[in-house]
Structure formats: C-alpha cells, structure tokens
Amino acid sequence: MSGASPILVLSVVSEIFPFVKTGGLADVVGALPAALAPENVRTVTLIPGYPAVLAALHDVSTVLEVPDLFGSPARLLHGRARNLELIAIAAPHLYDRPGNPYMAVDGRDWPDNAIRFGALGLMAARLAAGEVPALRPDVLHAHDWQGGLAAAYLRYRYERGPRTVQTVHNLAFQGLFPASLLPALALPPQAYSINGVEFHGEIGFLKAGLALADWITTVSPTYAAEIRTREYGMGLDGLLRSRTERLSGILNGIDDAVWNPSRDPLIAARFDARRIAPRIANKSVLKKRMNLAPDDALLFGVVSRLTWQKGLDMLVEVLPTLLATGSQLVVLGSGERNLQQAFLDAARIHPSRVACVVGYDEELAHLIQAGADALLMPSRYEPCGLSQMCALRYGTLPVVSHVGGLADTVIDCNDMAIAEGVGTGIVFTPTIGMLEAAVLRTTALWRNGRVWRRVQRNAMRADVSWRRSARRYAQLYRDLLAERRR
C-alpha cells in the first residue's frame, strides 16, 4: 500500500461532530476520517453550510459556483475544520436557520426538508460526476436518509460516477415525502418507480439509497441481520432481503482520544484499568452536582434520548424496584415529553435518590460515564449504540438489551463468563420483567466488590476504537473499486 494514491471518499452527511450534532451519526462521521487515514483512505465530507460549520472553516476556497440551487445561488466551499476536510454547501436560503438541522426551535420539521436534503444529494452527485476534477471521488459514501438521493441523482442524471455506499444508521428514519415533489427535486419521471425512489406512493430518500447504491452497510452485524426481518425492517425488509449479498454490518467505534478516562479533561479524576481507585472521586463529584445522597449506593446512569425506542418507558415502570434495592439513578437526555416528565417527577419525589437533567451537556455526559457504576440502555432496538462503548471504556458496566450493536459489544456476566474472565456487563431481553431482573442481577454483582472490579477491568480493556472497523471500510472500498476494474 505504501506509495499508492489514497482512495478518495466523498462522505455525504447532514451533521458532524464537533460542529453540528443531534445524535450518534455526528460522532461516527466525525471520527471515521481520522481512523481511515492509516488505511490510505482520504475522506472529504460534504455537509450543509450551517452557520456553525461555516464559522469553523479555514483555508477556504470556492470550488463550485451554483447559480440556482433550488431557488437561489449557492457555493461549494472547500476547507478544513479541526482535523476534518470539508466541503460546505453555502446556501443560506436552505441552511442558515435557527434550531437544529431538521427542526425549527418549536420542534416542528422544516417544511422544505425534502428540498434541503435533496440539495445535499444533488451536490454530492455533481461532485461525484467530476464537476470539480480535483475532488472527484473514487467512492461516494452516503449516510442515512439525508444522503439517500445522492445515488438517485447519479443514476438518473449522469451516465457514469464512482462506486456508491449507503449506510443505515437508523432504519426508522426514512425521509418520506409527497410524490408531487419529484419535479421540484429535479428528478426525471423514470426515477419514480419501484426500483427507484418510489416507496408506497411517496418519495423515499433512504429507500432510494438502499435500492440504488452499489453496497449497503449498517452499523453493527446484528442490526444488519435484524433489519432483514419483518419485526425490525420498518417496511424495507423485503428490499433488504433482496440485496442480502450487497449488505454488511460494520460495527461503529468511538473516538478513544475523546473518550479516554486517563486523559479526559471533563472529569474530576483520571484513571485507567490499572488504577481504578481514583474513579470514586468522580462518583462523589457527580452525586454532589446532582444533589444525590452522598452514600456508597449503587449509582445507575442514563445518557440517552428519552424515547420508546430506547425503552425508557420500561425503566419508569422498573424504577420502584431499582429504588427498593437502595440504588440511585441519574438521567441525562431529552425526548418524549411524557418520559421527560416521568423522570422529573421521580426526581421531585425522591430528590436524594433520583436526578434528572433534560437536555444534553457534554461535560455531564463524561462525568456520568466516569462516575456512575452502571449504565442502563434498555433499548427495544439499537442499530449500534455508542454510549455502551463509552461505558466500557470508563469501567461503567453497561446493562443493555440483547439487540443490535448492544448484543455485539457487551458480553453478559453469566456464571461461565465470570469464571472465564470475559464478562463485561449485563445483557437481557427487552421486556419490563427482564429489565427488572437485570437491575437485580446488577445489584447482586455490585455487592461482590472483588468480582465487580474484575468485570470493570474486563470492560476497560475491550477494544471499542475505530481501528478494526476502519480496516473493514477500507477493504470494502478496495473491493468495490476492484469490481469496476474487472
């Protein structure tokens, strides 16, 4: 590989850490370029020109002038931000807005989201087709529904383009819009077919990517199997089964420089698997910050969207059992209002045992990972999950459902796993009864301090970095390029 030109990948995304983040997608696409660099892969990320992105860019040059991008002029700006190489779509009429990338401040979706993310796909296709020769990619890699139309624009507007990959981070979010928008999206009539963008009488952005990309990946091997079933396929299982030979699951990793308990500047005391003792200081600081009783009770943490998918309604049901064991709970997250209120009410009724912060706070998220004893993730489905990997890194034992990437990353502490020295957490079937049993199992394990510390060390030694997965992505890119040469 030494001396060979790097593979140039155009990553097509709607958010990227540390500039714009609503969930794990931003973390993944923000960390993957650095992980791919040692594999001789250069990643250029195409992203909407949100104000935070444009403000972060430096060494900027305009690489393409677009006289009319769905109603107004736009420019493609090439530059760097932190350690990332970016192309930002400077289109204020589409992206210079308050709120997050998808919703206004009132929580409602922007009514022109189809156009906003159609523009993302169209600009990706124009770059992929070589309109900026110096940045013509070998592989176009689109993420989630927001990038899904890139493959469609390539198929229906250009004769030739690079190899294409569509990654599904969460199949539940599909980008469905009225069929009447086809002309407004500058797609030809032939694109609206069962083999194109049509999905049950609508335009399906994600469906288009799944049908038209050369390869499909998702973010864990177990989720790749699950989404081909009726239970988890969200109406796309038939299409995914038909493309089984072009579908693979590549497990996400985490940025182990950002999530590193021995160097983390956001926690009270640093530690590692050899010296776990300083960890107790983080627990003390966390409890004080959250006004929890300063005893040595088992402290469960939650860092999550508060939604049905994440199984947090089940945790509300199990909370009396958790409190009856003498344990405590700290919750950080936002989501469905009824769940937010349920945890706020629990904190009001049990102020020394339950604490809840609605919203997201990066420093508090790190402190919970470093100070809680166990992290609860009772998800009904979970494509990959990143919080459990952070928990492993920090010796916070993950208590997780046996679904998706949770099943792929956590080894249950059953008797055999403990005897063999491989257990890293508690794994259970996502039902109220089994979650309750998992809480009781965790409590029993906690009471055996010697075994608990052994499991903590197992967890902290788990490789949750991007290294192995980056090698798999790089090999996929090489295999796709070799197909074209044959």
DSSP assignment string, 356-407: EEES--HHHHHHHHHH-SEEEE--S--SS-SHHHHHHHHT-EEEEESSHHHH
Radius of gyration of the chain (CA): 23
Select 7-253+467-485's CATH number: 3.40.50.2000, 3.90.226.10, 3.40.390.10, 3.40.50.300. Answer: 3.40.50.2000
Q: What is the pLDDT of residues 25-39, one digit of tens each?
A: 999 999 999 999 999
Predicted local distance difference test score (pLDDT) of residue 217: 98
Predicted local distance difference test score (pLDDT) of residue 23: 85
Phi, psi of 18 (to 5 degrees): -105, 20
**Intervals of the chain under pLDDT 70:** 1-3, 485-486
Provide CATH 3.40.50.2000 ranges for the chain.
Answer: 7-253+467-485, 279-461
Q: HEC string of 13-44?
A: CCCECCCECCCHHHHHHHHHHHHHHHHCEEEE
Predicted local distance difference test score (pLDDT) of residue 52: 96
Whole-Å CA distances, 311 to 184, 204, 407, 436: 39, 27, 15, 12
Q: What is the pLDDT of residues 42-73, one digit of tens each?
A: 999 999 999 999 999 999 999 999 999 999 99
Q: Are the beta carbons of 138 and 113 closer than 8 angstroms?
A: no
Predicted local distance difference test score (pLDDT) of residue 371: 98
Helix (H, G, I), strand (E, B) or coil at 408: helix
Rounded to the nearest 10 degrees, the angle between the axes of helix 449-461 and helix 432-447 is 110
Pairing of strands 202-204, 198-199: antiparallel
Predicted local distance difference test score (pLDDT) of residue 486: 53
Of residues 228, 140, 248, the one with CA closest to residue 469? 248
Give the whole-angstrom CA distance, residue 27 versus residue 17.
Answer: 5
Omega before 18 cis (within 30°)? yes
Q: What is the pLDDT of residues 236-249, one digit of tens each?
A: 999 999 999 999 99
Write down the architecture of domain 279-461 according to CATH: 3-Layer(aba) Sandwich (3.40)
Predicted local distance difference test score (pLDDT) of residue 366: 97
Give the whole-angstrom CA distance, residue 58 versus residue 41.
Answer: 22
Annotated ligand binding at 283? The verdict is: no
The count of C-alpha atoms lying within 13 angstroms of the C-alpha of 167, restricted to the half-sphere facing its C-beta, is 25
